[in-house]
Amino acid sequence: MTENWAKVVQSLQNMDIGALGAGMPGAGAKQPEIRFSPAKLQALQQQYLQDAMGLFSQSMTAVVPKGDKRFADEAWGCNPVAAYAAAVYTLNARAMMALADAVESDEKTRTRIRFAVEQWMAAAAPSNFLAFNAEAQKKALDTKGESIAKGMQNLLHDMRQGHVSMTDESVFEVGKNVATTEGAVVFENAYFQLIEYKPLTTKVYERPFLMVPPCINKFYILDLQPENSLVRYAVEQGHRTFVVSWRNPDASLAKATWDDYIEQAVIKAIAVTQEITGAPTINALGFCVGGTMLGTALAVLAAQGEKPVASATFLTSLLDFTDTGILDVFIDEAFVKYREKEMGKGGLMKGKDLASTFSFLRPNDLVWNYVVGNYLKGETPPPFDLLYWNSDCTNLPGPWYAWYLRNTYLENNLVKPGKATVCGEKLNLNLVDMPVYIYGSREDHIVPIGGAYASTQVFPGKKRFVMGASGHIAGVINPPAKGKRSHWIRADGKFPKSQATWLEGATEYPGSWWPDWSAWLKSHAGKQIAAPKTYGKGKYKAMEPAPGSYVKAKA
C-alpha cells in the first residue's frame, strides 16, 4: 500500500500541466514546480492507510458509498464484488482529490491539477465498465442479453453521428416542435438572418426589441417550446421582437473576424431593426457570448458618437474576464499562440470539439452518465428539448475564435479603456452610458456569478442586477408558469465591488426572474402603438418563415 501511495504522489508530480493548459501534446509550456508539504503528505498517507486497512478488513462485506448516484441502485449493494469495487474507487478518489488540494504551487497550476484529477477519477469509476457495473449486469440478465445488444446498437449509432446521445434526437425537428414561435426572416447576409416575430397583442411598444444570442450556439435556446420560450414571452408582453439567427460557419466564413461579426452582424442587426420599425432607438439583449458581442458593438458605436440602443440586457455574459471559472484551466499564452498559429488567419473551430469541451466541464453528468445509460444498459435517453439544442452544435471562424481567446480570456482587454481596437475604434465601455439589466446564475460553471456581476462595475449608467438559481441555461430559461427556483434582488441599488458583498444586502424571491425583467424592460420601451400587420418594411420583406434556413444547417 505504501508503494502504491508513493507512485500516486509521483504521478501527480510528473503530470503534464503544460499540455493540459494548452489542450494539445507538446505545447512547449514550461512545467511549473509541484511540491507537497511533508507533514501534510504524511497525514494524508496515514489517513489513506487507515481507511484502506479498514476497507480491507471488511473484505467482501464492504458497504456501497452513500450519496453517489452512480452507485445508488440496489443492485450494487446485492453484489459484493461490485460493492467492494465502488468502495475502493471512492477511497482512492477521495485520496486523489486530497492530494490535488495539498499541492503547493501557483493557484492556476493547483486548479489545473484538480481539474485533471477530476477527469481521471470520473473516467475510472467502476460504473463505467460492464465488468463492475452491477446494475448493468442485472439488467443484462433480466433482459436475457437484450440490453447489451441494444447498447451495441446505440454505440454504433453514436459513432456514426459523431457524439454521445444525450436525448432522443429523432423526436425533435427545428421549426416543427422547437423554435416554433411564428415569424419571418426579414433580412440576411453572410453572417446572420434577422427574424421578426408576429405580434401576439393588438398594441406593441414603440421601441422594438432585438435579441443577440451566442454565435457559439443556435438561437433557439431562446425559443425551445411555447411554454419555455423567452422569445414568445417577450412577444406576449407587447414587444416588437427581432432575433439574430447566426449562420453555421462553413469554409466561406473561415476567414471571418471578430470585427466582421461586430460590424456586419450585431451593428447591422441594430440598424436594420431601426430601419424596419422607424424607431430612433431600440432595446437590445445579449445572451452569453452574444452579450460580450453586444457590449463590444455598443462600445464601437459609442466611440463613433452613436447611441442607437436605449437600454441593454446582459444574460450570463462576460465583459470583465477576471473571473472565468473552470474554463481558465485551458487558457494560457501557449494555448492562445497555438490557436492563433493554427487558425488565426483562417480555418474553423469545429462545433463538435467545442461541445466536447463544454461537456467535460461536468463529466459525470454530461458524458459518463450517458455512456453508462446508452451503452452498458442499452437505454434510449428520454426526449429533452434543451439537450437536443445542446447537441445541435455550431462551428466558429478561426480568426474570430483566436481574437476572442486573446482579448478576453487571456488579456481581458475589453475592460481596459483603449486597449482593444474593433472596427477601427478603440473600445471604452465607460462610454456605454445607458440603463442596463444584468442577470447571472448562481451555479453557472461557464459564466461564474462573480464574472456576470463584474459588469456592474463596468457600465456607468443606471443598473439593475439579478441573481437566479441554477446554472448557465436552466437559470435563464425559467418561465414564470413553472414556479421554479428563486432569484435575488438588492433593493437599495448599491453595487459593491464583490458579488458576495452585494448578496449580503439582497432579498430572495421565489420563482422566475422573468417578470422582474419584463417590468424593467417595459419601463424603457416607450408608449404603445398599433401592432404592425405585416413583416418588415420597404426593402425588408418576409423572405421565409421563421426559424429560417440558417438555423437548420448542421455543423
CA distance 304 to 316: 27
- The conformational region for residue 536 under phi > 0 = left, psi -120 to 50 = alpha, else beta, is left
**What CA–CA distances, in Å, run from 129 to 68, 69, 85, 183, 377?**
16, 16, 11, 48, 11
Q: How far apart are CA 205 and CA 21, in angstroms?
A: 49
**Of 428, 430, 410, 432, which Cα lies nearest the Cα of 419?**
428
Closest to 94 in 3D by CA, of 71, 125, 69: 125
DSSP E strands in 44-178: the ranges are: 103-104
Q: And the C-alpha cell for 125?
A: 469509476
Cα distance from N-terminal residue to C-terminal residue, the chain: 49
**Considering only CA atoms, which of 415, 496, 507, 426 is closest in space to residue 463?**
496
Whole-number Å distance between alpha carbons of 152 and 402:
39
6/373 Cα distance (integer angstroms) = 36
Give the DSSP letter of residue 203.
Answer: E
Kindly list the catalytic residues: 288
| Residue whose C-alpha is closest to residue 235's, from 271, 272, 210 | 210
For 504, residues 6+ apart whose C-beta sits below 8 A from its C-beta are none
Identify whether the C-beta of residue 282 lies closer than 8 Å to the C-beta of residue 309. Answer: yes
